[in-house]
Chains A and B, each alone.
Chain A
Amino acid sequence: MNETAVSVSTMVEISLDGESVRVPEGSTILDACRREGINTPTLCWAENLTPVNVCRVCVVEVEGSRVLVPSCSRKVEEGMVVATDTERVRTSRRMVYELLASSVEMDRAAPEVQAWIDHYGARPERMGDPAEIATQAQPVKVQDDLYVRDYERCILCYKCVEACGDDAQHTYAIATAGRGFGAHISTEHDVSLPDSACVYCGNCIGVCPTGALAFKTEHDMREAGTWDESRQSVATTVCSFCGVGCNLELHVQDERIVKVTSPADHSVTYGHLCIKGRFGWQHAHA
């Protein structure tokens, strides 16, 4: 469709788990894995964000590399020999889950995260008595009627920072502050969100993989014990607030909209919305 940007993609041949496969030049190893149906865990990767390769659950073994490489960001090269299920890979992936789950609450992460934790037999409890080891336990931040930020669920995947910044919203209300285990997502001087640059597009919520960032509606329903995803349906429609044509996914429970997302592969939004699209639905229930 793009008359000038069409390029004939060159194919690259690599060895993937012993199979010789051909993938387009410029693909990542993760792309290649997905093409070949090799299920690969990810946490900090998202199709609508620039890979930051910080979580390290997608690491694979590449012949000639001293250390494991992140499949999400490493581009394939001709002749590359990749192994995705070696003992080294399994150990590192299991340890990443053990390290994360021993320090943050993972129970609201996507179901596949729990499945991977089980798959690799991660046992976070062996890191020590939760009362004695360092964790990210802290109170939830509820500072307005739209969002909550529950940073004891934050795995520091940087997705929210990217969505707030260069990858979508360009508002830069939040960034990583501090360092090491003390690194955390913060506004400047940790001012409250309403006092920050935040414009409440909710794109951070849209990309958060662990439920650390959530709609206030969801938070309140969870607190009240009424949140039930098995009773929710999702309808994709078009936002009514301007002519750009953003697709909205309306999550509905008991005939009420409880959350709004947008498809990450939609050519208009790439999963990102503005405050009106994300939160302007409330007139439907006025």
Chain B
Amino acid sequence: MPDLYFGATDEATDAERAAVAEAIAGFGPVVVRESERLVHAGRARTVERRQLLLPALHALQRASGWISPGGLDHVCSELEVPPAEAYGVATFYHLFTHEPPRADDTLHVCDDVACRLFGAVDLIDDLRAEGHYVKASPCLGQCERGPAVMVQRTGRDDLTVTAVDGGRVTTAEVAVAIDTATSTPSVTLPQAGSGDLRLLARVGVVDPSSLDDYRAHGGYRALEAALAMGGDRVIAEVTASGLSGRGGAAFPTGVKWRGVADQEGRPRHLVCNADESEPGTFKDRVVMEGDPFSLVEAMTVAGTAIGAEQGWLYIRGEYPVATARLRHAIDEAYAAGLLGGDVAESGIRFDLTLRSGAGAYICGEETALFNSLEGKRGEPRNKPPFPTTHGLFGEPTAINNVETLVNVLPIVQMGGEAYAAEGTERSPGTKLFCLSGRVNRPGTYEVEFGATLRDLMDLAGGLVDGSELRAVMLGGAAGSFVGPEALDMPLTLEDTRVAGASLGSGVVMVFDQHDDLVDTVRRIAEFFRDESCGQCVPCRVGTVRQEEVLVRLGRGSHIDDERDLLDDLATVMRDASICGLGQTASGAIRSAIELGLLDGIAATGGTEGEGSR
């Protein structure tokens, strides 16, 4: 729309142009030069195309290994996005770089809370010593087999490299994976073969690349049933099931869907939040890698039920394997008439677009995710208004987490009441938990609501030899620490709430007596400082000051001298931040203080601030 100025002195390369053209195919550039005397452009065309900015930036990054000024100008002129704004968007995401690449491959090595228990810091040093270009990364969602490496490649598909079965991945294994362009195979499910599984039943059983195999294992029967019963009935069943959001906020899914279905505004959207980035969380990845069609089917059920013609699957950029499998599943579903203008010959339209994030935890916040999808900086919006009325593109939107959505398949098939009979009264159904840390069989577990922390740890083979339980990080970095006294607490929404904790994203990360919890807590503070979008003052500066306090504690400063300041920081972040990130950024730290985890412990390692600054 505007009279833009393009000042870059270099030109986009052919590879960049081709990549951008592919990314925006189907829309084409904003400005149409009909002839020397007639040009069409304008605000409507610009607004419509803005959502292509994120894929276009991915295209640039992949084509040449960075967001080059010439490439950015090219994208901006095609989409009529002001270069300063596009630069602002590009610099928001950690997976986009703004200097010429130092190597074809960038190794993002997770040094977050779980991986740093298993030698991540040493791995970074070792890989650097072997000449790799390494960036320390926040949680890569591979906590059951960390430390993890995500290889970001120029002109080729990204890779995930971890140990296959236990132990620490070696630098040699990383080198082989890069040479052979092969990601480490998906994990084996610890509960594989158990007949009790519902959400994970097909994971490790079905061929994730085969629609036929998916169908052979019961796939697409839920959609068939849903289309037969009609949208209102589907919503009623979901409401009856008592299903609540599994992303952390636990909002009743049926209520959310009803709210969107009742909106008069069109178009409506269904968004799947697959930006699983909470440190310690990897359950959605396991579902998406092992049973990608189930998510596609679940989204189709949801979208057709609420009258959303457009679905969006926003998956974090650090999940190359899941992304590839989902893309394939979507393509197959389109080819089979299960997506598109006439879903399974029902006459109902449901289109599904997959979009990759680019390294920003905040984009898991629903309104930040909308902004990210819209091609803007992933800054959360103030609520109200809520997504139900003003979601993606300001239009009515239902946004659900992956785990929430896949629950819809059994609900539709067995009926809401039958579903609600399992679990507890207030927390019906099953729940996925991500076990990591000092347990024998870390991994994703599906249990009925009501299981205790002890049950889960037993399921995971108990503590490793020589370990004594010191604390469990429950719910992720945005959750809280609990001590051994909480072992018999049922992991339900209601029981954790009473205990002042939260199930969050289902993280159960186990620490023992040897673990440096001052370092862990400092790493959590670093994580929030690093992932704050920077929009509001309490979070932007508060997370910095909070980390500074924890660094001082690590250097021997006494907790009693810092308590007032930490309390005030926690208060302003919790009370006055725009979104959940700031509001929860002090939760785990406060709980650690309350449990006395930071008392009387001097720093044991020299790892503070390592890497990710």
A-side residues, CB < 8 A to B, are 53-57, 59, 67-68, 70, 73-74, 88, 91-92, 95-96, 98-100, 102-103, 126-128, 132-134, 155-156, 165, 170-183, 186-189, 191, 195-197
21 pairs, A vs B, C-beta closer than 8 Å: A54-B536, A56-B578, A67-B574, A67-B575, A91-B572, A95-B538, A134-B548, A155-B537, A165-B85, A171-B2, A172-B4, A173-B82, A177-B84, A180-B530, A180-B540, A181-B532, A186-B87, A187-B84, A188-B83, A188-B87, A197-B4
Q: Known A91-B568, A170-B2, A177-B88; judge A133-B545 contact (CB<8 A).
A: yes
Q: Are B91 and A181 in contact, with the CB atoms below 8 A?
A: no
Closest to A184 in B: B534
Give the residues in chain A near B256, CB-CB below 8 Å: none
Bound together, the chains give a CA A132 to CA B548 distance in angstroms of 9
Give the residues in chain A near B85, CB-CB below 8 Å: 165, 172, 175
Q: Is B436 in the interface zone, CB < 8 Å from A?
A: no
Q: Known A95-B572, A172-B82, A180-B534; judge A197-B7 contact (CB<8 A).
A: yes
Q: Are B2 and A134 in contact, with the CB atoms below 8 A?
A: no
Residue of A96, A176, A179, A197 near B83 (CB, 8 A) is: A197
Q: Is B346 in the interface zone, CB < 8 Å from A?
A: no
Q: Are A186 and B529 in contact, with the CB atoms below 8 A?
A: no
Bound together, the chains give a CA A39 to CA B132 distance in angstroms of 58
Q: Is B188 in the interface zone, CB < 8 Å from A?
A: no
Q: Are A181 and B534 in contact, with the CB atoms below 8 A?
A: yes
Q: Is B241 in the interface zone, CB < 8 Å from A?
A: no
Q: Known A100-B541, A177-B87, A180-B543; judge A67-B82 contact (CB<8 A).
A: no
Bound together, the chains give a CA A116 to CA B27 distance in angstroms of 51
Interface string of B541-574 (1 = CB under 8 A from A): 1111100100010000000000001001101101
Q: Are B572 and A99 in contact, with the CB atoms below 8 A?
A: yes
Which applies to chain B's interface (DSSP): helix, strand, loop or mixed?
Answer: helix
Q: Are A55 and B537 in contact, with the CB atoms below 8 A?
A: yes
Q: Are B545 and A92 in contact, with the CB atoms below 8 A?
A: no
Q: Are A196 and B7 in contact, with the CB atoms below 8 A?
A: yes
Q: Are A176 and B377 in contact, with the CB atoms below 8 A?
A: yes
Give the residues in chain B near A67, CB-CB below 8 Å: 574-577, 583
Q: How far is the CB of B537 from chain A (nearest CB, A)?
A: 5
Q: Are B382 and A73 in contact, with the CB atoms below 8 A?
A: yes
Bound together, the chains give a CA A96 to CA B577 distance in angstroms of 10
Closest to B98 in A: A189
Q: Is B360 in the interface zone, CB < 8 Å from A?
A: yes
Q: A54-B536, A171-B2 are in contact. List 12 more A-B contacts (CB 8 A).
A: A53-B382, A59-B575, A91-B572, A126-B565, A127-B548, A133-B544, A156-B534, A173-B5, A179-B532, A183-B540, A186-B87, A186-B88
Give the residues in chain A near B151, CB-CB below 8 Å: none
Q: Is B531 in the interface zone, CB < 8 Å from A?
A: yes
Closest to A157 in B: B537
Q: Known A54-B536, A73-B382; judge A197-B5 contact (CB<8 A).
A: yes
Q: Are B2 and A188 in contact, with the CB atoms below 8 A?
A: no
Q: Are A176 and B88 in contact, with the CB atoms below 8 A?
A: yes
Give the residues in chain A near B572, CB-CB below 8 Å: 91-92, 95-96, 99
List the 6 closest A-B pairs by CB distance, nearest first. A183-B534, A172-B82, A175-B88, A95-B572, A197-B5, A99-B541
Closest to A69 in B: B382
Q: Are B548 and A133 in contact, with the CB atoms below 8 A?
A: yes
Q: Are B575 and A188 in contact, with the CB atoms below 8 A?
A: no
Q: Are B82 and A175 in contact, with the CB atoms below 8 A?
A: yes
Q: How far is the CB of A68 from chain B (nearest CB, A)?
A: 5
Give the residues in chain A near B2, CB-CB below 8 Å: 170-172
Closest to A158 in B: B535
Bound together, the chains give a CA A177 to CA B377 distance in angstroms of 9
Give the residues in chain B near A53, CB-CB below 8 Å: 382, 536, 578
Q: Are A181 and B540 in contact, with the CB atoms below 8 A?
A: yes
Q: Known A91-B568, A99-B538, A127-B565; judge A183-B533 contact (CB<8 A).
A: yes
Q: How far is the CB of B43 from chain A (nearest CB, A)?
A: 10
Residue of A54, A91, A156, A181 near B529 (CB, 8 A) is: A181
Residue of B69, B529, B576 near A68 (CB, 8 A) is: B576
Closest to B540 in A: A181
Q: How far is the CB of B189 from chain A (nearest CB, A)?
A: 36
Bound together, the chains give a CA A152 to CA B351 distance in angstroms of 47
Residue of B4, B84, B534, B574 near A174 (CB, 8 A) is: B84
Closest to A56 in B: B576
Q: Is B501 in the interface zone, CB < 8 Å from A?
A: no
Bound together, the chains give a CA A92 to CA B577 distance in angstroms of 10
Q: Known A181-B534, A181-B544, A188-B69; judge A92-B4 contact (CB<8 A).
A: no
Give the residues in chain B near A155, CB-CB below 8 Å: 537
Bound together, the chains give a CA A161 to CA B145 distance in angstroms of 44
Closest to A191 in B: B7
Bound together, the chains give a CA A68 to CA B534 distance in angstroms of 19
Q: Are A188 and B538 in contact, with the CB atoms below 8 A?
A: no
Residue of A172, A175, A182 near B534 (CB, 8 A) is: A182
Q: How far is the CB of B325 from chain A (nearest CB, A)?
A: 30
